[in-house]
């Protein structure tokens, strides 16, 4: 057991010695420091600005020519002529749509009732604060406009028959 303790103590002293590092270990035998000397960022930027300037100078348009950048800007710029053309096309389309709607609206329908999309639209509102007698049955109003519509349709049909 005594021999084992001596051996462990010896190993412990050797481990401590290997982990210590002192400045005096080198004894003046220094290796020269390895320095990676390359171009700095300033010189790289300078060279790239010079070559970039030469490249840009080659693409500058000559006198009388238009540059690609101004063509691109003009492509997306709105001009009064463009708006005039767009507005005239829009006007033509709306006139045609009005003509088509008039054509379909004035077609003869015997079962057509009222010009509103649904009769409840005349009295659609929130159902609170309603006084007694305020809401009215509108069946007689709907029937009146239905009869008026049928009379107009008959008058139009007679007028068309007389013209032909």
- Counting as low any pLDDT under 70, the low residues of the chain are 1, 14-30, 108-127, 129-135
Q: What is the pLDDT of residue 151?
A: 94
**Token pair for 164:** 């032909």
Residue 150 has a pLDDT of 93
Backbone φ, ψ for residue 132 (5° rounding)? -65, 130
Q: What is the pTM of this model?
A: 0.28
Place of tokens 């930027």: 45
Rg of the chain, C-alpha, whole Å: 49
pLDDT one-digit tens code per residue, 52-89? 999 888 878 777 777 777 888 888 888 888 889 999 99
Q: pLDDT value at position 1? A: 63
Q: What is the pLDDT of residue 4?
A: 78
Nearest to 116 by CA among 153, 157, 146: 146
């Amino acid at each position: 057991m005594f021999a084992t303790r001596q051996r462990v103590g010896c190993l412990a002293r050797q481990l401590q010695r290997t982990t210590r590092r002192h400045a005096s270990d080198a004894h003046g035998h220094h290796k020269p420091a390895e320095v990676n000397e390359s171009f700095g960022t300033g010189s790289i930027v300078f060279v790239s600005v010079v070559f970039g300037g030469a490249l840009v100078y080659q693409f500058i348009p000559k006198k009388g020519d238009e540059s690609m950048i101004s063509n691109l800007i003009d492509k997306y710029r709105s001009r009064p002529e463009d708006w005039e053309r767009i507005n005239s096309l829009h006007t033509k389309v709306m006139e045609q749509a009005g003509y088509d709607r008039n054509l379909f609206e004035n077609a003869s329908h015997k079962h057509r009732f009222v010009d509103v999309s649904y009769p409840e639209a005349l009295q659609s509102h929130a159902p609170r604060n309603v006084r007694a007698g305020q809401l009215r049955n509108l069946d007689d109003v709907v029937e009146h406009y239905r009869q008026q519509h049928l009379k107009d349709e008959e008058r139009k049909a007679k007028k068309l028959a007389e013209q032909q």
